Structure 1
Amino acid sequence: MKTLLFVTDLYYEAKGRNYYEEDLFLTSKIREDFQVVICHPEDTETFEKDFDLIVFRNAGPVANFKDKYQSFRNRVVSGYLKTYNSFNGKADMNGKEYLIELTNAKYPVIPTIDTLDSLDKLPNVKTYIVKPKDGADSIGMEFVTKDELRDKVDSESKNTLVQPFINFEYEVSFYFIDKEFQYALYAPDKEQRWELKEYVPTEEDLTFANRFIEWNNLDWGIQRVDACRNEQGELLLVELEDLNPYLSLLELSVETRQNFVEAMKKSLQKALQA
């Protein structure tokens, strides 16, 4: 039986979510087919060479242990460590730079810049969102006026993202394993963004989400495409989480949850055989 080092921070506190509940459930299921050991994300170096596959799950924002995360990434490359997800993604696992790339390539994404020299790429709105490139879980995010941008954005270091504030209808997330759509969830009340319900996507919705999955082109793993529906009815990408997306598994129906678990087991086998 293959061995998995399941990386998670069971004590990480996230608003509206209990990471430990999700990962305790998930490990209870995948241990039916694998030998599983749980490890804190800051302690992997001691154990990682003794396992067939490192499963990087609910580790919390890696900005909280930036140096150790970068060292881990370096060991993945130099030590040929096998990981899940594969670490060839172009999205959140590398920070938020990709939002600028997608903006410049005219993908359906919330327009994003990192220098005020590019302010003309954003719509002229009353309120802007400013947040750090390596942020997560809304850490460091601020709402500012146009006049305040000069004090908040360092256009030389380019370590800050600027986006227009969008008055969206609701947020919706699409979950994929190995480029295969699994389920979607949405928050019908945007003031309660973690009160999620299952969402039945249209063909147009899936075409939107698949476009980002194909762009990212992971070898294997779980991805979450987060989007918002604007007042014109269009979907815009908020972020593409390809490192350790929270899955809201316990919010799903029993059937959908079980289907996801079985798909993940097959994907883990794929990663092990690669």
Structure 2
Amino acid sequence: MTAGSGARPSVLYVTDLAYPARGRRYCDEDILLTSRLRADFDLALCHPLDALALMDGFDAVVVRNSGPVLHYQRAYDAFREHALATGAKVYNPVTGRGDMAGKRYLLDLFAAGYPVIPTVGTAADAGLLPASELYAVKPLRGADSAGLEFVPRLTGLDLTGLLAQPKIDFRYEVSFYFVDDAFQYALHAPDPARRWELVPYDASPADLEFARLFIGWNALDHGVQRVDACRTRDGGLLLVELEDLNPYLSLDALDPATREAFVGALTRSLRAFTAPG
């Protein structure tokens, strides 16, 4: 197969169909999306460990439910370096500033005064955090709660390669889903202890203003992004994560009309992304 050889764009769709996600079935989502994208693209699926070897044969690479990068960090770094060196079209673009680049952005956003969960990267800065009975300590390159620990105090801890946050007493979590810079839908977990039991959420204008603040900061021209936030006891929203690498979309929680609208938006975005020039 040679990139650009046919009338339709060729797409390498990167996914780990066997990834054992807690409370979710990644494979179902990717089976649905690829079954629909085949109407517009010449499509092939591959595991993330095979992406580097195959990517040059396609017009674009779509990275979807490929699992946490920390499980194959060296392979991902080589894939990313090759994409930057060759100008390969990767969707989402590898220039993302959110979780794609690790969680250091939470430190930067907190320092800059954005509405995020207070976050520090050294024990010496612990005084910048509000008092809390417990603090969450997690790896800067973490994902899916890997390496997450809760500790009663930060004094004396070595936070090299880690970040620390107060354990927030929130009412619920809510996620906002975007294709490019266009809002698609929102879902929330009414029970904080059941993160992935999601139901549709009617986002207010203030909610969308909050979410778009981070979409604008990330400045990706194309891509699927998920803005995860928590609703605090005082009614405000704080950013939990800006997922811009391979966000799970929870399409099974949507009504058919909303799901179809999302698939249409994704298809249009990919057509524009793969267009010559």
TM-score by length of 1: 0.96
Question: Whole-Å Cα distance in 2 between the matches of residues 272 and 73 of structure 1?
Answer: 18
Question: Whole-Å Cα distance in 1 between the matches of residues 155 and 274 of structure 2?
Answer: 49
Say whether 1:89 aligns with 2:96: yes
The one-letter amino acid of 1:139's match is A
Shift of 1:112: 0.5
Say whether 1:144 aligns with 2:151: yes
Match of 2:263 among 248, 261, 264: 261
On the 8 A contact 2:52/2:78 being kept in 1, the answer is no
Question: Whole-Å Cα distance in 1 between the matches of residues 200 and 244 of structure 2?
Answer: 21
Question: Whole-Å Cα distance in 1 between the matches of residues 20 and 74 of structure 2?
Answer: 21
Q: Secondary structure at the match of 1:204?
A: helix
Question: Whole-Å Cα distance in 2 between the matches of residues 75 and 113 of structure 1?
Answer: 32
Say whether 1:27 aligns with 2:27: no
TM-score by length of 2: 0.95
On the 8 A contact 1:88/1:219 being kept in 2, the answer is no
Partner of 1:134: 141
Say whether 1:218 aligns with 2:209: no
Shift of 1:102: 0.2
Number of aligned residue pairs: give it. 269
Question: Whole-Å Cα distance in 2 between the matches of residues 191 and 145 of structure 1?
Answer: 20
Partner of 2:15: 8
Question: Whole-Å Cα distance in 2 between the matches of residues 195 and 80 of structure 1?
Answer: 39
On the 8 A contact 1:5/1:38 being kept in 2, the answer is yes
Partner of 1:229: 231
Partner of 1:165: 167
Say whether 1:103 aligns with 2:110: yes
Question: Whole-Å Cα distance in 1 between the matches of residues 84 and 196 of structure 2?
Answer: 35
Shift of 1:262: 0.4
On the 8 A contact 1:53/1:84 being kept in 2, the answer is yes
List alignment gaps of at least 5 residues for structure 2.
1-7
On the 8 A contact 1:3/1:52 being kept in 2, the answer is yes
- RMSD (CA atoms): 0.9
Question: Whole-Å Cα distance in 2 between the matches of residues 172 and 222 of structure 1?
Answer: 17
Q: Secondary structure at the match of 1:93?
A: helix
Q: Secondary structure at the match of 2:101?
A: coil
Say whether 1:197 aligns with 2:199: yes
Partner of 1:154: 158
The one-letter amino acid of 1:210's match is R
What percentage of aligned pairs have identical amino acids?
51
Question: Whole-Å Cα distance in 2 between the matches of residues 75 and 46 of structure 1?
Answer: 10
Partner of 1:271: 273
Q: Secondary structure at the match of 2:210?
A: helix
Question: Whole-Å Cα distance in 1 between the matches of residues 109 and 53 of structure 2?
Answer: 37
